[in-house]
Amino acid sequence: MSTLIIDSHCHAGKGDGLSGPWDTNAPLKDYLQWCNDAGVHRTVLFAALHADYARANFEVANIVRSDPGRFYGYAFLDAERDKGRIHSMVRTAVEEYHFCGIKVHRHDAPISREICAAARQFRLPVLYDVTGEIATVELLATEYPDINFIIPHLGTFSDNWSWQLSFIDHLVRHPNIYTDSSGVKRFDLFKMAYERAGAHKILFGSDGPWLHPGVELAKILYLKASPEEEALMLSGNFLRLTRQARSHQRQRQNQYHLHNQHLTKPPLATARL
């Protein structure tokens, strides 16, 4: 039986900017073909950079809903623009969209305590692109030891060797700090992260649809890990980090279906449990 492969980092939907693909458009058509070619079974989706994440998350929810066996969703949040509505956005994402994680990008604003409080309440991992602000990781790890943070690209998409090198130290020291493989160019540093921090701290992610999931996947395979360790990186770690969020969703869906068996139209309060 082949190992389940889940791409834990892919954007989807329209952006509302024109700076580059990252805030303009994230179409999945080619990406899904590439997944077929590379043997990637499932994908975690979240928005492109956007000025209104409530709208962008809704669009991602519709894509996830189109094939819930193929896609998972994360809620994208802007700590500044969404200030005051973070909790309600996360509640909508979890209860109505069945999302199982949070995405925050330092390009929008630095992560806030409001976001961490919502992650804690809904037991969601936070995928936070620190864009090279590595020291923040120390604060997140120690202030919120019960929240799991995935810091993509070894801390920076920009291949900055010294930032990525210093990030590996945080990855080794803090049990709640993880990383993904997406966009990491320096294979020697990626291998160092695996050897020093361990396979249980690394998630396969592609940063699709702009990067080819097969190319990103090759980096995991060339680590030449044991089949057990490889399985952790390819899907096991993601499934473990999102287990609580996903099991609550299943309970809610089961409650909903149970009520549906007895009532043609469940009371609204029940349907929204």
Which residues sit at the interface with Zn ion, rule CB under 5 A?
207
Closest contact distance (angstroms) between CB of 206 and Zn ion is 9
Q: Token pair of 198, please?
A: 């361990």
Question: From its phi and psi, is residue 13 left (phi > 0), alpha (psi between -120 and 50) or beta?
Answer: left
Closest contact distance (angstroms) between CB of 184 and Zn ion is 12
Q: Token pair of 132, please?
A: 């090279």
Report how far residue 172's alpha carbon sits from residue 225's, in angstroms, rounded to the nearest whole number.
18
Residues in CB range of 99: below 8 A, 6 or more apart? 57, 61, 64, 72, 73, 74, 75, 93, 124, 245
Of 206 and 235, nearer to Zn ion (C-beta) is: 206
Q: Which helix (H) or strand (E) holds 56?
A: helix 53-66
Closest contact distance (angstroms) between CB of 208 and Zn ion is 9
Closest contact distance (angstroms) between CB of 207 and Zn ion is 4
Of 49 and 225, nearer to Zn ion (C-beta) is: 49
Closest contact distance (angstroms) between CB of 262 and Zn ion is 44
The single-letter DSSP state of residue 13 is E
Q: How big is the chain by its Cα radius of gyration, in Å?
A: 18
Closest contact distance (angstroms) between CB of 9 and Zn ion is 6
Of 18 and 268, nearer to Zn ion (C-beta) is: 18
Of 60 and 225, nearer to Zn ion (C-beta) is: 60
Of 7 and 207, nearer to Zn ion (C-beta) is: 207
Of 82 and 207, nearer to Zn ion (C-beta) is: 207
Q: Which residue is nearest to Zn ion (CB)?
A: 207
* Cα–Cα distances in angstroms (integers) from residue 197 to residues 15, 174, 185, in the given order: 35, 9, 18
3-state secondary structure of 234: helix
| Neighbouring C-beta atoms of residue 15, cutoff 10 Å | 20
